[in-house]
Chains A and B, each alone.
Chain A
Amino acid sequence: MNSEQLSVNSQKRKNTGWRLFFQSVIARSYPRIIGQQRELSWMLFEVVMPMIAVIGYVLVYKALKAPEEYIGFVVIGGAMMAFWMNVLWSMSSQLYWEKEQGNLALYIIAPNSMMSILLGMALGGMVATILRAAVIILLGSWMFGVTYAVVSPFELFAVFALSMVALYGMGMMFASAFLLFGREAWAVSDMIQEPVNLVTGFYFPVKSLPFWVAAIASAIPLTLGLDAMRQLAFPSGLQMGFLSTKVEILILAGLSVFFLVGAKLLLAYTEKRAIREGRLTEARR
């Protein structure tokens, strides 16, 4: 390397601090937002699988001769399920997959914050899944003739945005915890998928569950998010709501702060522990 090249390199500005943080966020979200869209077959699968569940449960309601709004509840639930699946399989388990593939050590070695990696994963996953959820809502509404009566678009947007922040915050927290898992990571994700489908009320109003079950399930952001969205999007939603939308918005805001701060603290702890116990590069097959 001659002196001229050395001089050019030293003049090149290196991002540090917040700039580096946001650069890492964008870099980690890029493969999810742009890369995944190049693989159209992925999108097909991620839309088809929740749609199968939506169609199945709609047909159960039809067999039971349920009121029409329940069909709409299932369609909204199916769309929100796309986010839950994304958080469960592409956020929570992600650091475990990265470890299996040997990328995790590279993330740790690189001079950036692991929190920016998690945020990038969350941002990318959220944006990519919005597209899939929109397709599910459009398809489901078209197939089953669902009509909506949005009372307050602003409130609806606020509920959705807060649900997303809280949900992906929870995903970031789970990702930190999964860092310590080995082969059981896959089984844990698999095990919690259906119980969460049950208690969050993806396919029925959460008010149908016993009060304390619904109250405990409210710690999962999708429970109150879904309940509030149904109240705001369907004429009869208000009667079937668990809490008032105002209270649900406040709780969702609290959950967002809790999960984001929790993710930061848990990540620092688990990263330190994983390094100390030599778990960052293990691949227990």
Chain B
Amino acid sequence: MDRSTAAVTRSETWRSFRIATWLGWQIASNWTDPLWFAIYSIVRPVSRAAILVVMYGVITQGNFSDPLFPYIYLGNAFYSYVFTVMNGVSWAVIDDREHYRTLKYMYVAPIRIPAYLLGRGVAGFLTASLSVVITILAGVLFLHVSFDPLQADWLLFFVSLAIGVVMLAMMGLVLAALSLLVARHSGFLAEGVSGVLFLFSGAIYPLDVLPVWLQPIGYAIPITYWLELMRRSLIGSVAEAFPTLAAFSNLELLGILVGLSVVFGVASIYVFRACDKRARERGLIDRTTNY
């Protein structure tokens, strides 16, 4: 590939991503006014957090000073990214193919489809960010989550967040690729996958609670390390409270996260290419299943 071709490809990729981001945001938010959209974005994650708070409060008689509480609370808050980002990317296939019936036009337009799909996931990232901020704020203000902004490791936080979001977007791309081929239940893919990962990633309980034979699954998925890093960056003392990943330093965890993210990222590109080719061969791009 010569320089000018590479420059055109880069510009096309960026344009696809940028326009898809704008489009995704419009689809996600323009069905109502901004106030209702903000309420809609916040209510679900805050309610989910409140369920855990009540459960925790009932059993511990309101002892919110135990390190397990911020562990559960923060893990649950950051897990919002997992479903929304993955679903944002993969749902674009279903939305465009089945609902708007525009996927075939996207394919014939001068855009890069993977960049377009990743761009559609940005709206999910933005709404999840809003809900994460509100949830953590509510935890600090009303539930004694011991978070001190001056003590937080912000560099670690933003680096981990960036790597994690890219990793989730690439996992979303795999689901998008599968959605191209699957006629039924493709709409449930992100929900099902994020649900299963929820159980194994130690989001709301330490991995030690899982049966020993299931724990290796938790250690094999990058989300486990990402959640641990997000917690450690905000509340360092949490790391010491649970033996699961206590033996790893922040740098080691970051290394594992980057390594696993690269593996998943490269695999997602190959999976997308293979599924995309197969979908084109079998004429699945413009099908409507009405399922």
Contacts and interface: CB of A to CB of B under 8 A. Distances in A.
Interface string B78-120: 0000000000000000000001100000000000000000000
Contacts of B210: 59
Interface of A: 41-42, 45, 48-49, 52-53, 55-57, 59-66, 70, 101, 182-184, 187, 190-191, 193-195, 197-198, 202-205, 208-209, 285
Contact of A52 (B45, B72, B99, B198): B198
Q: Please report whether the interface of chain A is mostly helix, strand, loop or mixed according to DSSP.
A: helix
Given A52-B196, A56-B198, 8 more contacts: A41-B185, A48-B195, A49-B191, A49-B192, A60-B56, A184-B32, A191-B39, A208-B54
A61 B52 CA distance: 10
B57 A208 contact: yes
A193 B58 CA distance: 22
Contacts of B204: 56, 59-60
B31 A66 contact: no
Contacts of A198: 47-48, 50-51, 54
B54 A57 contact: no
Interface residues of B, number: 38
A208 B104 CA distance: 52
17 contacts: A48-B192, A49-B195, A56-B199, A60-B72, A61-B55, A62-B205, A64-B55, A64-B56, A191-B39, A191-B43, A193-B44, A194-B48, A195-B47, A197-B47, A197-B51, A198-B54, A204-B51
B289 interface: no
A64 B196 contact: no
Quick one: which of B52, B59, B188, B206 has the most chain A CB within 10 A?
A: B59
A275 to B, nearest CB: 23
Nearest to A39: B184
Ranked nearest first, the 4 interchain pairs of A and B with the lowest CB-CB distance are: A194-B47, A63-B205, A52-B195, A64-B59
Contact of A204 (B58, B192, B195, B206): B58
A184 B55 contact: no
A48 B206 CA distance: 22
Given A63-B209, A191-B43, A285 B100 contact: yes
Contacts of B72: 60, 63
B151 interface: no
B138 to A, nearest CB: 13
Contacts of A64: 55-56, 59-60, 68
Interface string B191-235: 110011011000011100110000000000000000000000000
B99 A285 contact: yes
Interface of B: 31-32, 39-40, 43-45, 47-48, 50-52, 54-60, 68, 72, 99-100, 184-185, 188, 191-192, 195-196, 198-199, 204-206, 209-210, 290
A185 B51 CA distance: 25
Contacts of B47: 194-195, 197-198
A64 B64 CA distance: 12
Quick one: which of A42, A187, A193, A209 has the most chain B CB within 10 A?
A: A187
Contact of B44 (A191, A209, A285): A191
Contact of A191 (B40, B100, B205): B40
Contact of A203 (B51, B60, B196, B205): B51
A202 B205 CA distance: 19
Contacts of B184: 41
A45 B189 CA distance: 10
A55 B203 CA distance: 13
A55 B54 contact: no
Nearest to B194: A52
Given A49-B191, A190-B44, A101 B290 contact: yes
A101 B288 CA distance: 12
Contacts of B51: 57, 194, 197-198, 202-204
A48 B199 CA distance: 12
